[in-house]
Structure 1
Amino acid sequence: MRYLIGRYHEIALKGRNQWRFVDQVKQNLRDIFADYRLGNVRSVGPRLMVQIPEELSDETAAERAALIFGLQNFSISHATARDIESIAREAIKRASGSNARTFAVRTKREDKRFAMNSVEIDRAVGGEVQEALGFEVDLRAPELTISIEIMNDAAYVSAGKMPGAGGLPVGVTGRGLALLSGGIDSPVAAHRMMRRGLRLDFVHFHAYPIVSAASREKAAELAAHLTRWQARSTLMLVPFGNLQREIVANTLRPLRVVLYRRFMLRIASALAERCGATVLVTGESLGQVASQTLENMAVIEKAAAFPVMRPLVGMDKNEIIDQARRLRSFETSILPDQDCCTLFMPAHPETRARIEEVEAAESRFDIPRMIDDAVRTTEVERFWFPPRAAQVAAARAPEPQKLSAKEP
């Protein structure tokens, strides 16, 4: 019988509140494996143990398990009887398909009453594997590690451990709304906050039909990709072009970018309130562009009704690109598009805006009406992972759904 055994990351340090984190991991696991009928899901010490159905392949189980925040590592393990002969036979079976030339055996005993200690089990099983398969023992850098876990009910044997997503389970620290630009930075920022246990919805500001729909399509593709780590997401598409035109017609050129960003945070705050989010997440990095100077970020943030979290603020572009490549969002993010951030961009934007000057410029606008218009015309797309019937139905709809008073 096969089991997915996940080992907790930070959850193991949570003391009396650990049960909340464990319950959230279990729920997230059920969501990400929603298209399979899993067996018993239980927590045993620092481990999460899940019985895997026959129709779920090892490859799919490993691919899905790697998406679950809260697990430091995991293995696809096989249960066997709690005697050294059965354990050795199972270890040989697990190792027999490997192309490794060197190996090691690592044993952990949840049940300390087992007759042999961990070192004795390692030696006994290792000797059997070496004799049967001809592998060489290498305790420092083995190409294959056979993992054995002695539990109260059975012994569990696997051919190595795979890295987990780490962090905290999505949803355990609250709910946020991420500003998803379609560029390289914002998906990385969103993923980093999801890894800290924040469940996210997404908002994208676009200038369609003034420009092409390419940025909307990219944002939808990135939202669908990020949904793999949290099973369900909502993307809100805000038409921003007409609002930008109004700003351009009534504001001096240098301040336009600061005003764009302040209006984005106002609109995002209104949407966050509707979806139950309590923080906003952006992909800003200090000094990267004109709107991201220290002075401008301070002025822009004053327009938000919720705290603004900037997980990339101290990272440089190369670091962000490296993470985007690992996240596999980079290829989508670099597709050409025409986003609203570059529309009506002044040649020399202000880099040290003063709040008094900005507020004086904004006094020319009917801010509540502009925010209400943007929220009222926002469209909604929903995403599920794994794909479900509701997602298929939504994909067949000719247009994204409009945001109603109770949405999302």
Structure 2
Amino acid sequence: MILIRYGELSLKRNLRKKFEDILVSNIHRVAREEGIVGRVKREWGRIYFSTTHERIVAKRFSFIFGVVSTSPAIECSSELEDIESTAEVFLDDVKRHRSFAIRVRRSGTHEYTSMDVARFVGAKIKEKSDRMVDLKNPDFEIFIEVREEKAYVFSETFKGFGGLPVGTQGRVLAMDEVSAWFALRRGCDIDLSVECSAKDDTGLELLRAWACYRKVGKVELNFKEALKSNYPAIFCSFNMNELIANEGILRKRKMPVLTPLASEKVYSRDKVEKILNSISELIECVHTKCRYSEREQ
């Protein structure tokens, strides 16, 4: 079982269901294109995906825009004894460390609090592992999410890139692969300018994966020509100096020109290029795992 968490969708209350539908559709599309067999289940604020090879698939799904994080988890009932016995799966991991902590989140109506769960499970794990509890700086952590009649126990979380699901916004023009990544992160479908991007289709194929295999078009427009096009917006990877140098041209624009690198503090051009390329190795790992499973069957 994989827990899939999403964040920004909750800010769009009127469009929440539409955005969730698109996110689920994108998950289905990635699974289908990459040979991942599984089943999706939806609940308020969470998406669950049942599959084999949970860890590598959870990591892959963390690369889907709109996803805040994923965790390969074990599902059990919300009974305290069941939660505790499930948490014992991580007993050997606890024993390999000096200290541990139990982190609990709970939603719904139960006869216990989150603190009750942490104390009960923590006491049992401490007794069976002979390791100390350290809530401030533990060497190992067991996480428990209790949601109504079910609970999910896990020890690992893959941080996603957030943003909005691709397809929730309109189709825009991206002048190169780096700006295309930012456009996809904002939920836009994209057309890529082949005048300003890589000469082969390597970047295009990478972007298709980041776009959850939605259509990524190619157009032959340079920047001046793009400013005369009918796209609702253009994304380009100008830094602040390049933005100032092109001020005269930009004054004649008739649509928004978005330059995320000019003010971006988290993602530099080099960092985005590395992130862009990292998805190919991850997809290859997914393919290898899934093909091996199919041969075994």
**Bucket of the pairwise TM-score, normalised by the shorter protein:** 0.7 to 0.9
Quick one: structure 1 residues 234 and 325, their matched pair in 2 at CA, closer, same or farther if it must change by over 3 Å? Answer: closer
Cα offset, 1:116, TM superposition:
1.6
Quick one: structure 1 residues 133 and 225, their matched pair in 2 at CA, closer, same or farther if it must change by over 3 Å? Answer: farther
Structure 1 vs Structure 2: percent identity of aligned residues? 25
Cα distance in structure 2, aligned partners of 1:164 and 1:215: 26
Q: Which residue of 2 aligns with 1:39?
A: 39
Q: Which residue of 2 aligns with 1:138?
A: 134
Figure out how many residues of one structure are paired with residues of the other and give that number.
Answer: 275
RMSD: 2.8
Residue type of the partner of 2:100?
F
Query: TM-score normalised to the size of structure 1?
Result: 0.60
For the Cα contact (< 8 Å) 2:59–2:70, is it kept in 1? no
- Which structure has the bigger radius of gyration? 1
Cα distance in structure 2, aligned partners of 1:85 and 1:161: 24
Residue type of the partner of 1:14?
K
Quick one: structure 1 residues 228 and 89, their matched pair in 2 at CA, closer, same or farther if it must change by over 3 Å? Answer: same
For the Cα contact (< 8 Å) 2:164–2:187, is it kept in 1? yes
Q: 1:67-112, CA deviations, whole angstroms, 9 ceiling, x for partnerless residues?
A: 1222222211111133222211111103534654432112222222
Mapping for residues 99-248 of structure 1, pairs under 5 Å? 99-112=96-109, 114-180=110-176, 187-205=177-195, 215-217=198-200, 220-232=201-213, 233-236=215-218, 238=220
Mapping for residues 260-339 of structure 1, pairs under 5 Å? 261-263=223-225, 265-266=227-228, 269=229, 278-288=232-242, 292-294=243-245, 296-300=246-250, 302=252, 306-315=255-264, 319-328=268-277
Residue type of the partner of 1:310?
T
For the Cα contact (< 8 Å) 2:189–2:216, is it kept in 1? no
For the Cα contact (< 8 Å) 1:102–1:138, is it kept in 2? yes
For the Cα contact (< 8 Å) 1:144–1:160, is it kept in 2? no
Quick one: structure 1 residues 319 and 234, their matched pair in 2 at CA, closer, same or farther if it must change by over 3 Å? Answer: closer
Quick one: structure 1 residues 74 and 135, their matched pair in 2 at CA, closer, same or farther if it must change by over 3 Å? Answer: farther
Query: TM-score normalised to the size of structure 2?
Result: 0.80
Secondary structure of the equivalent of 2:194?
A: strand
Cα distance in structure 2, aligned partners of 1:84 and 1:315: 45
Cα distance in structure 1, aligned partners of 2:40 and 2:219: 40
Residue type of the partner of 2:22?
Q
Residue 48 of structure 2 corresponds to residue 86 of structure 1: no
For the Cα contact (< 8 Å) 2:2–2:54, is it kept in 1? no
Structure 1 unaligned residues grouped into runs of 5+:
181-186, 207-213, 241-259, 330-385, 388-408
Bigger Cα displacement from structure 2, 133-142 vs 319-328: 319-328
Cα distance in structure 2, aligned partners of 1:9 and 1:153: 23
Q: Which residue of 1 aligns with 2:55?
A: 59
Q: 1:31-89, CA deviations, whole angstroms, 9 ceiling, x for partnerless residues?
A: 111123322421x2222222x13xx3123212221112222222111111332222111
Q: Which residue of 2 aligns with 1:369?
A: none
Quick one: structure 1 residues 91 and 178, their matched pair in 2 at CA, closer, same or farther if it must change by over 3 Å? Answer: same
Cα distance in structure 1, aligned partners of 2:130 and 2:64: 36
Q: 1:274-331, CA deviations, whole angstroms, 9 ceiling, x for partnerless residues?
A: xxx532211112214xxx435x3342563x5643222222359x933234334447xx
Structure 2 unaligned residues grouped into runs of 5+:
279-285, 288-297
Secondary structure of the equivalent of 1:96?
A: helix
Quick one: structure 1 residues 192 and 234, their matched pair in 2 at CA, closer, same or farther if it must change by over 3 Å? Answer: closer
Mapping for residues 355-394 of structure 1, pairs under 5 Å? none
Cα distance in structure 2, aligned partners of 1:229 and 1:261: 23
Q: Which residue of 2 aligns with 1:9?
A: 7
